[in-house]
Chains A and B, each alone.
Chain A
Amino acid sequence: MVELVVIDRAGAEHKFAAAPGMTLMESIRDQGIYDIKSLCGGSCSCATCHVYVDSGTPLAAMSEDEDDLLDGTSERQANSRLACQITLANGMAPLHVIIAPED
């Protein structure tokens, strides 16, 4: 399991563990945190799953498409990612995630 700490848009902290193999977007949604719309269902086409992520384990590099979509968000930061593009993997260090403001 991968440990997660997710801060929602209201500032509330959610601590939970999620199964490897699912995406960060799915794990947040299934935990009952409903701030991310994920309109394109995770196909890297909408940027409505924008989060800020910090982790002890380096995350897989982002694709050019993800990078470009993030450029289109108004609140991009150095640790911006699309949650649907991060797959949780066995042995990952805990992830600290903040849901980015809505565009």
Chain B
Amino acid sequence: MSTSDVLIVGGGQAGATAAITLRQLGFGGSVTILEATADLPYERPPLSKDYMLGQRAFESCLIRPARFWAEQKIDTLTNAAVATIDPARQQVTLADGRVLGFGKLLWATGGTPRRLTCPGADLSGVFTLHDKADADAIAARLDTPRRAVIIGGGYIGLEMAAVLRKLGHQVTVLEAQERVLARVAGETLSRFIETEHRAHGVEIRLGAQLREFRGLNGAVTAVVLADGMELPADFVVTGIGITPLAAPLLAAGAAGGNGVEVDEFCATSLPGIYAAGDGARHRNRFARDEWVRLESVQNATDQAITAAHAIAGQGKPYEALPWFWSNQYDLRLQSAGLNMGHDATLLRGDPAARSFSVLYLREGRLIALDCVNRTKDYVAGKTLVLNGALLDAARAADGDIPLKEASAG
């Protein structure tokens, strides 16, 4: 049995960043990344953006070129899915039965896309979009104009819709809620995004309840709604969120439920075992220390850096500011902070001019903002959120006054 000083389970954004950071910190012990799929660590955001558009090669999505891992003496084992963990013996068992030992372990497996359970959900042509294999399977359908139905008006579904329209396909987006982006953004942004997509020829159906998928010879041909409406579809992309992958760790006794719970150093309740990324539930300073699970490159990267510092004996708490971006058509969306718990919103700029920001306040302080084609606000807003700045509401709502000059007093 081989043993690594640090065993990283999951070679995605968090796993790769943790390994890189350990070496940057001068950690000289052995480091192994176990990755369930066949691919070396890569960035997922391009999968629903320029990679799907065919404007970016997979090599340029790799977090580091292949030779980096060997140069840095980081072992990368692909096709290596961890099935069980024995924390007392400090061993993991892979799905194929191999056993590996560890000194410290970082759990960085992210999540798995939620799947629909309605009749026909297992027909071919019903895709999720979470990894390279998904993206390639969808891209293979884009050779001739098709009718696509996207289920879920979240960021991934909407980015996918934008790409498909750019490539000339017919697109319908079905959203169960009464607005798109309902889980993450305020209504002003939702309505603006709906208008943009409609202007680009996307059909958006809000409050849409799905009944079933119909198919022919095992392949999807239509989506049927609860009211009986039938939408013809050559393929379907579901983007209805992810479920954290944490079963082996929870079975080993780690505290958690919806993900694995970690403290401010990204340590789980099991000694020597850490977690980071989409699957790590933590108390976030920017959510008034409430438990949250964030699904972003920022969070995966900064938690991985936090865990690596703790593993290397240089622990410092996780307090990085959350931020996120999305690109749809020529729209640049940038967000900072976390808007949960806001008690007021302010609008700066003009949605009709396609340049505006939505500011989220709590007790007069800026806690988050969503910016559309307004990088200046995003940059200024980050500092204001970081400092918990009290805003002068009238000045903050005046798009002609720089946001950085809008704090009160």
| A contacts, CB < 8 Å to B | 26, 29-30, 32, 34, 37, 39-41, 43-46, 64-65, 68-69, 71-72
B329 at the interface (CB under 8 A from A): no
Known: A37-B301, A41-B43. A72 touches B379 (CB 8 A): yes
B201 at the interface (CB under 8 A from A): no
Known: A26-B60, A43-B325. A69 touches B46 (CB 8 A): no
List CB contacts (< 8 Å) of B273-322 with chain A: 297-298, 301
By beta carbon, the residue of chain B nearest A30 is: B65
Partner of B375, one of A37, A40, A64: A64
A101 CA / B329 CA spacing, docked (Å) = 33
By beta carbon, the residue of chain B nearest A66 is: B375
Please, which residues of chain B bring their CB within 8 A of the CB of A65?
332, 375
A86 CA / B91 CA spacing, docked (Å) = 47
> Contact flags (1/0) for B370-396 with A, using CB distance below 8 Å?
000001101110110000000000000
Partner of A41, one of B20, B45, B71: B45
A30 CA / B65 CA spacing, docked (Å) = 7
A-B contact pairs, 24 of them (CB 8 A): A30-B65, A32-B68, A32-B71, A34-B68, A37-B301, A39-B297, A39-B298, A39-B301, A40-B45, A40-B297, A40-B325, A41-B46, A43-B50, A45-B325, A45-B327, A45-B332, A45-B334, A65-B375, A68-B375, A68-B376, A71-B376, A72-B380, A72-B382, A72-B383
Please, which residues of chain B bring their CB within 8 A of the CB of A40?
45, 297, 325
Partner of A43, one of B20, B60, B327: B327
A95 CA / B20 CA spacing, docked (Å) = 27
Please, which residues of chain B bring their CB within 8 A of the CB of A44?
332
User: Looking at chain B's contact residues, is the secondary structure mostly helix, strand, loop, or mixed?
Assistant: helix
B61 at the interface (CB under 8 A from A): yes
User: Looking at chain A's contact residues, is the secondary structure mostly helix, strand, loop, or mixed?
Assistant: loop
Contact B375 A69 (CB under 8 A): yes
> Contact flags (1/0) for B38-76 with A, using CB distance below 8 Å?
000001011001100000000011001101100100000
Counting chain B residues whose Cβ lies within 8 A of the other chain, the interface size class is: 20 to 34
Known: A34-B64, A43-B327, A45-B334. A69 touches B379 (CB 8 A): yes
A64 CA / B377 CA spacing, docked (Å) = 12
List CB contacts (< 8 Å) of B325-350 with chain A: 325, 327, 332, 334
| Shortest distance between the CB of B15 and any CB in chain A (Å) | 15
> How many residue pairs between the two chains, A and B, have CB atoms under 8 Å in the bound complex?
50
Contact B20 A46 (CB under 8 A): no
A65 CA / B377 CA spacing, docked (Å) = 11
A34 CA / B71 CA spacing, docked (Å) = 12
| Shortest distance between the CB of B28 and any CB in chain A (Å) | 17
| Shortest distance between the CB of A11 and any CB in chain B (Å) | 15
Contact A68 B379 (CB under 8 A): yes
| Shortest distance between the CB of A23 and any CB in chain B (Å) | 9
Q: A41-B46, A43-B327, A68-B378 are in contact. List 15 more A-B contacts (CB 8 A).
A: A29-B64, A32-B65, A32-B67, A32-B71, A34-B64, A39-B297, A41-B45, A43-B45, A45-B327, A46-B323, A64-B375, A68-B376, A71-B379, A72-B378, A72-B382
Please, which residues of chain B bring their CB within 8 A of the CB of A37?
301
Shortest 6 CB-CB contacts between residues of A and residues of B: A72-B379, A68-B375, A45-B325, A68-B376, A65-B375, A41-B43
A12 CA / B67 CA spacing, docked (Å) = 20
Please, which residues of chain B bring their CB within 8 A of the CB of A43?
45, 49-50, 325, 327
| Shortest distance between the CB of A65 and any CB in chain B (Å) | 5
By beta carbon, the residue of chain A nearest B382 is: A72
A71 CA / B376 CA spacing, docked (Å) = 8
A46 CA / B298 CA spacing, docked (Å) = 10
By beta carbon, the residue of chain A nearest B381 is: A72
Please, which residues of chain B bring their CB within 8 A of the CB of A72?
378-380, 382-383
A56 CA / B12 CA spacing, docked (Å) = 40
A64 CA / B68 CA spacing, docked (Å) = 34
Please, which residues of chain A bring their CB within 8 A of the CB of B383?
72
By beta carbon, the residue of chain A nearest B374 is: A68
By beta carbon, the residue of chain B nearest A9 is: B24
| Shortest distance between the CB of A3 and any CB in chain B (Å) | 21
| Shortest distance between the CB of A69 and any CB in chain B (Å) | 6
A30 CA / B379 CA spacing, docked (Å) = 29
